Chain A
């Protein structure tokens, strides 16, 4: 069966510090991968998605970047965090063919001080 791992579960970082959140998927190959952010009490906002190694599409202009160095690894980064980067970050995967649901990790709660 397929599993998705995200870490860390919670993170407290000072403004201006760098960020690296990692997501890995097991039990499938060539998945589509996604990063979402959820502000408190709000819906999910798609930040990035990837259909293959090194292929990243950005949905919104922002202070963050994403990379996919391996088939089942997706990394969310920032060089300098802003207060507005606080939120709940979720990684998801789906099979790379049509009509497939997305499957989410447990998320990382990021607080910027």
Chain B
């Protein structure tokens, strides 16, 4: 499975968009990009995933570059409750034994 690289930490002002980058330059053609987040002392929460098209749901938007070597998770209007560690994961469908959660990006939303 492809590895991912994320900045260790980011700040975002409350009410502004939070743009979290992820590099996955070795991604294979049928690997998906997943995003999860983990609020302190809780289990990770699934946010969104995609293959090559941009995706949007009630929580966030996922923008995947045309070459699929990087992606950006966008929280359109960050709130204090969005303060969490965000994990970008690349994995094959049904590759349940290969989902690797790295250190992620610690996002701090500042009032």
Q: Is the CB of B42 within 8 A of A106?
A: yes
Task: Write the A90-110 contact mask toward B (1 if CB under 8 angstroms, else 0).
Answer: 101010011111111111010
| Secondary structure dominating the interface of A | strand
Task: Write the A42-59 contact mask toward B (1 if CB under 8 angstroms, else 0).
Answer: 111110010100000101
CB distance from A67 to the nearest CB of B (A): 18
Contacts A42-B103, A43-B102, A99-B32; is A105 near B97 (CB within 8 Å)?
Answer: no
CB distance from B34 to the nearest CB of A (A): 6
Which residues of B lie under 8 Å from residue A103 when comparing CB positions? 46
Q: Is the CB of A49 within 8 A of B44?
A: no
Which residues of A lie under 8 Å from residue B32 when comparing CB positions? 99
Taking CB atoms and an 8 Å cut-off, the chain B residues in 89-111 that contact chain A are: 93-94, 96-97, 99-104
Contacts A43-B102, A43-B104, A46-B99; is A102 near B46 (CB within 8 Å)?
Answer: yes
Closest to A91 in B: B43
B9: Cβ under 8 A from any A Cβ: no
CB distance from B95 to the nearest CB of A (A): 9
Taking CB atoms and an 8 Å cut-off, the chain B residues in 55-101 that contact chain A are: 87, 93-94, 96-97, 99-101
Contacts A43-B87, A43-B104; is A104 near B96 (CB within 8 Å)?
Answer: no
A: residues with CB less than 8 A from B are 6, 32, 34, 36, 42-46, 49, 51, 57, 59, 88, 90, 92, 94, 97-107, 109
11 CB contacts below 8 A, A to B, read: A43-B87, A43-B103, A46-B97, A49-B96, A88-B41, A90-B43, A100-B93, A101-B36, A102-B46, A104-B44, A109-B41
